[in-house]
Chains A and B, each alone.
Chain A
């Protein structure tokens, strides 16, 4: 998995990312879990209510500085401009407000563009013109795509009058820099937590809910995503490939990305609850979708709704002529792909979904609706998603085509080899558990059992024990120095 924008001239594959361990304080690390988090919790709950946001801000800056000390100032200045322009927009409410909005957006997007996309454009410019403009090789600040979008949503919402400008810099900075969601989302809207920044409740039940969510998210990340990541890594290093191995890789890759990202979102939402916040959900079992349209209503929901509210609807949404509407859709999906990384395969990945969504909206959804059992619809979505993640994970377009065509035996690949069969056996349990865990079946089963009185008591008694045992296992994996990258840090 290329997790850095290829346009930077530095292609870091997922398998190599563990080499960067220590440069970010990932949630699934000993420094975070057993040094940073206990300190933060002690400070936070000891602090009087009026200082809680200050504690959150300061500890979030420490968290950020742990990974990228140089970029703390960049983030603070970006927040500061958002703070100032937010107040100015509210004050003027005329053409000057529009100017302030434009300047603030230009600053935020300019910084994002410079850090994330400059080398991509230079590379492509060089390729087209034959020139050799040197690359800038800018280091991408962690989480810049996330906090830029949060600042933009804040400024736009203030401009629209949806929310009042935040007069307290600490509150605004605490919202944007809040460490649970700072570097990998979800993209929390200011409007969703504005009231909670001023006044929020802390309760044992909310805290317990948050802890459970956090530990389960950590489990998804460490036990599922990292283990499946090892399989993907083995595939990439193997010379003994077969059709089976390509399919194994595709499934493992899709599940890894899902558990990695949704696990991180769970941890963010859980930590948010511990600190009294209610972040919106980011994933809702996307793999059970019966159409690509539904898939994107369930996958990375905070990003999808951001593009809907701040790009698609301002462009006119679907209340325009058909051609313009289709253009709007393609613009949104181009940007969605480009947001994920400055490389052509991400753009193609976004456009691929754009085309599919258009096809569905124009006529295919009607065809799908006629399929009563739902089986074909699930197969259709599963295939599309698998191919999309193979494309997403590829180092470049040609590799993506090679991987996808190899899934169908191109190049006279053997169907099965000893190694692929071995890997299938070795990862069978985790793959089966992963597939099951990616559906609501487990949750539904537990819910049904809970409805019976006896099981309700059993689950209540078992939950704390289960969480402690899970933490012990997770700690074992982390202590052993297992494969532990995070995918969405650089997006």
Chain B
């Protein structure tokens, strides 16, 4: 009797389960993008015979079916809970949680990537900087794993080796060490980046290294929106929201920012971007290949050119006090071969400021 009831319930429940999701999949309107994963979602592929015969249609349909599955985020959370807490995995897809911080394993050290990065920098030096009246500086930003991974038993690359390896290959630059200015709490808990309000001392150390004095006097302002970093979506766990602060001052307010991509003026703190998918883009409007910050209160001939990644967006406003003009170059989005058309390097300071994350995965540097 019990067996019969159990079988009936099993069949009924499972039939209902599949039927509900079947109908839901069919009729659920497609979402354009995922906020948590910060990416566009696959759309229903168009039916083309050539695509069907080649198998492309099937692959695209599977991408669509996975991306548009009902309650996708909740299902991803179920998976994360299972992997972390039921199966006891220390990381899921490289994402791990420790001491309230989410991070992604960055391991091992890719010396081939460092070689490539060093070669890109040397090419820039040879093409634009050699023989010019320029002061060259290099600084490496440790990623969060430097403080979090090794100390907690997670695989971590040898950061000392990374820095010395790079320095050996860039001996034409003066190295400014900022590792000792940073600690774990200087980084967002759910994001890769450092917190601008915590890196004033880093900016001062860089300024000192380049012969510039920075007052470090700023007004701390709170963004009126909760901040969920990139690891929030990648971990798929309900991590608490963070607060994003940005540092303001009269000098920063007076600055004029020019975006070469759009040929238009913009602002240091982009409030429109701050309310978008990635509030970290508040800093100089996020990923930009080439932009200039002009400080009308400083000597216009005092110029700094920063070759940088996204970490540079939040520290550049803190350096502006010491320069009449700061140019930010991101060679991940602009080929370094084209820089000569836009920039005059003579009589300037040049800072190569890169995070270990980019250096260890430098294939994107052009």
The digit string for B70-94, where 1 denotes a CB below 8 A from any CB of A, is 0010011111001100111111000
Interface members, chain A 16-75 (any B CB < 8 Å): 21-23, 25, 29-31, 33-35, 37-39, 41, 66-70
Contacts of A110 in B (CB 8 A): none
Q: Mark A373-396, 1 if CB is under 8 A from B, else 0.
A: 000000000000000000000000
In the complex, are the beta carbons of B65 and A35 less than 8 A apart? yes
Given the complex of chains A and B, what is the CA–CA distance between A227 and B92 in angstroms? Answer: 10
Query: What is the predominant secondary structure among interface residues of chain A facing chain B?
Result: helix
Contact B69 A479 (CB under 8 A): yes
Asked if A481 lies at the interface with its beta carbon under 8 angstroms from chain B, I say yes
Whether the Cβ atoms of A211 and B66 lie closer than 8 Å is no
Q: Are A468 and B108 in contact (CB under 8 A)?
A: no
- Given A34-B21, A476-B78, A480-B76, does the pair A211, B10 have CB atoms closer than 8 Å? yes
- The answer on a CB contact under 8 Å between A67 and B88 is no
Whether A204 contacts B11 by the Cβ 8 Å rule is yes
State how many angstroms separate the Cβ of A26 from the closest Cβ of chain B. Answer: 9
| Given A205-B7, A478-B66, A425 contacting B90 (CB threshold 8 A) | yes
Contact with A along B1-21 (1 / 0, CB 8 A): 011111111110111011101
A128 to B25, CA, bound (A): 56
Q: Are A476 and B66 in contact (CB under 8 A)?
A: no
Q: How far is the CB of B83 from chain A (nearest CB, A)?
A: 8
Q: Cβ of A467 < 8 Å from any Cβ of B? A: yes
A37–B15 alpha-carbon span in the complex (Å): 11
Chain A, 436-450, contact with B by CB distance < 8 Å: what is the 0/1 string?
A: 000000000000000
- Would you call A467 and B14 a contact (CB within 8 A)? yes
A37 CB contacts on chain B under 8 angstroms:
18
CA distance A456 to B55 in the complex (A): 48
Contact for B91 among A66, A239, A426, A472, CB less than 8 A: A426
> What residues on A are CB-neighbors of B15 within 8 Å?
41
CB of A359 within 8 Å of the partner chain = no
Confirm or deny: A408 has a beta carbon within 8 angstroms of a beta carbon on chain B.
Answer: no
The B contact surface, by secondary structure, is helix
Q: Which of B52, B75, B88 touches A480 (beta carbons < 8 Å)?
A: B75
Interface size class of B (residues with CB under 8 A): 35 or more
- A227→B62 CA distance, assembly (Å): 21
**Residues of B contacting A38 in the complex (Cβ-Cβ under 8 angstroms):** 18-19, 22
Across the two chains, which residue of chain B brings its CB closest to A207? B11
CB distance from B77 to the nearest CB of A (A): 8
CB <8 Å contact, A464 and B55? no
Q: Does B352 contact A (CB under 8 A)?
A: no
User: Looking at the complex, which one of B2, B22, B55 makes contact with A457 (CB distance below 8 Å)?
Assistant: B2
Q: Are A25 and B13 in contact (CB under 8 A)?
A: no
- Binary interface encoding of chain A residues 420-440 relative to chain B, with 1 for a CB under 8 A from any of its CBs, else 0: 001001111110010000000
The reply to whether B75 and A476 form a contact with Cβ atoms under 8 Å apart is: yes
19 contacts between A and B (CB under 8 A): A30-B62, A31-B61, A34-B18, A41-B15, A70-B53, A205-B7, A208-B11, A223-B82, A429-B87, A430-B87, A460-B5, A463-B10, A464-B6, A464-B14, A473-B82, A479-B66, A479-B76, A480-B76, A482-B79
Interface of A toward B, CB cutoff 8 Å:
21-23, 25, 29-31, 33-35, 37-39, 41, 66-70, 204-205, 207-209, 211-212, 215, 223, 227, 238-240, 418-419, 422, 425-430, 433, 456-457, 460-461, 463-464, 467-468, 471-473, 475-482
| B interface residues (Cβ-Cβ under 8 A, vs A) | 2-11, 13-15, 17-19, 21-22, 25, 52-53, 55, 58-63, 65-66, 69, 72, 75-79, 82-83, 86-91, 107-108, 153-155, 236
Could you list 17 further interchain pairs (A-B, Cβ under 8 angstroms) beyond the known A35-B25, A479-B69? A22-B59, A30-B62, A38-B22, A66-B58, A67-B58, A204-B11, A207-B7, A238-B108, A419-B155, A422-B153, A425-B153, A426-B90, A463-B10, A464-B10, A476-B79, A479-B66, A482-B79
